């Protein structure tokens, strides 16, 4: 039963990440731009510097959260559904061609 839950959560994480993260999509367009000084946290996480921007892709912070949950057994994330969702989001993020571009030069 756990494998079915994991696969369902993986597919859900993949599909929702695809809907939310694709630029120009209906859901992504509706997300507000939220920024405090040099730190942008919606719809994407960016840290702006003078000449460069640090782009934290969703696959990167999903990986960090997954490693933390596997290491420390955090209650609400220590279940098979949450781990499947995170893995689905990681796999979807790695499907982008720019998945490895974390530091971007400003024009």
pLDDT tens-digit map of 11-35: 999 999 988 887 666 777 778 889 9
Alpha-carbon span 6 to 79, nearest angstrom = 9
Alpha-carbon span 95 to 77, nearest angstrom = 24
76 pLDDT tier (thresholds 50, 70, 90): confident
pLDDT, residue 28, reads 72
Whole-prediction pTM value? 0.84
Q: Are 82 and 69 in contact (CB under 8 A)?
A: yes
% of the chain exceeding 90 in pLDDT: 61
- Beta sheet of 52-56, edge-to-edge order: 34-36, 39-42, 45-48, 52-56, 103-105
């Amino acid at each position: 039963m756990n494998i079915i839950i994991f696969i369902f959560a993986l597919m859900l994480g993949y599909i929702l990440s695809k809907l939310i993260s694709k630029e120009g999509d209906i859901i992504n367009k509706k997300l507000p731009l939220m920024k405090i000084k040099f730190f942008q946290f919606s719809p994407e996480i960016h840290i702006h510097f003078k000449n460069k921007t640090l782009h934290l892709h969703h696959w990167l912070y999903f990986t960090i959260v997954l490693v933390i949950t596997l290491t420390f057994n955090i209650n609400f994330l220590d279940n098979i559904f949450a781990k499947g969702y995170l893995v689905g989001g990681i796999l979807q993020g790695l499907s982008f061609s720019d998945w490895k571009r974390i530091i971007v030069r400003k024009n």
